[in-house]
Amino acid sequence: MNEIFKILEEDARKTPQQIATMTGIPLSKVKGAIKQAERDRTILKYKAIVNWDRLGEGQVVALVEVRIVPQRDVGFDAIAERIYRFTEARSVYLMSGTYDLAVLVAGKTMQEVASFVTQKLAPLDGVQGTVTHFLLKRYKEDGEVLEVEKRPKRVPIMP
């Protein structure tokens, strides 16, 4: 069954019929598994990976290291929640190592990102400090290399 989700993760536009053919799993089972996965949030969402740079609308993205003070009973979760509720926070991860939360922040301009960090994120109760790293260039996004790779042609007919 996991094969179904591997296929969708690679190409969410594959139809249940195509997946059934590719895997040999009966169509009704494929449909059922996908429905169930959508219901129980195994599949969170279907979306496209857009290369905004090509549209001249490159976003400014920063990786913000956040050090926080864990709170009694809820640990890091409560403060993490206060952070991930901001739409500017695209991804939020609890990390091991020298800081606690990694927050990917996206905005239209550097000022927008900076003001989010200084006005919203840093002043939160429990946040001890932040270190902001601006993203300079994307090479690979979610397993996809952004530049089109030129590949040598194969010999078209070979026994």
Partner 1 sequence: MKKRNVISKKVRDISPSGIRRFFDILASLEGVISLGVGEPDFVTPWHIREAGIYSLEQGYTSYTSNYGILELREEIARYLKSRYGLGYDPQKEILITVGVSEGLDLAMRAILDPGDEVIGHEPSYVSYTPCTTLAGGKFVPVSTYVENEFKVNADDIEKRVTLRTKALLLGYPSNPTGGEMDRAGLKKVAEVAQRHDLIVVSDEVYERLVYGVKHTCFASLPGMQQRTIHLGGFSKAYAMTGWRIGYAAAREEIIEAMMKIHQYTMLCAPIMGQMAAIEALKEGEAQVEDMVAEYDQRRRVMVEGFNNIGLTCFEPQGAFYAFPSIKSTGLSSEDFAEKLLLEEHVAVVPGNAFGKCGEGYVRCCYATSMAEIEEAVERMGRFVKRHRKR
Q: Given the rule CB under 8 A, which residues bind partner 1?
A: 3, 7, 18, 21-24, 151, 154-159
CA–CA dist 32, 60 (Å, integer): 40
Residue 45 beta carbon to partner 1: minimum distance, rounded to whole angstroms: 23
Please give the Cα distance from 43 to 29 (Å, whole number): 16
Question: What is each CA distance from 102 to 70, 90, 97, 125, 128, in whole angstroms?
Answer: 15, 11, 11, 17, 14
Report in angstroms how near the CB of residue 51 gets to partner 1 at its nearest.
19
CB of 3 or CB of 65, closer to partner 1: 3
How crowded is the C-beta side of 99, counted as CA atoms within 13 Å?
Answer: 16
Query: Least distance in Å: CB of 4 to partner 1?
Result: 11
Q: Closer CB to partner 1, residue 55 or residue 155?
A: 155
Comparison of 85 and 154: residue with beta carbon closer to partner 1: 154
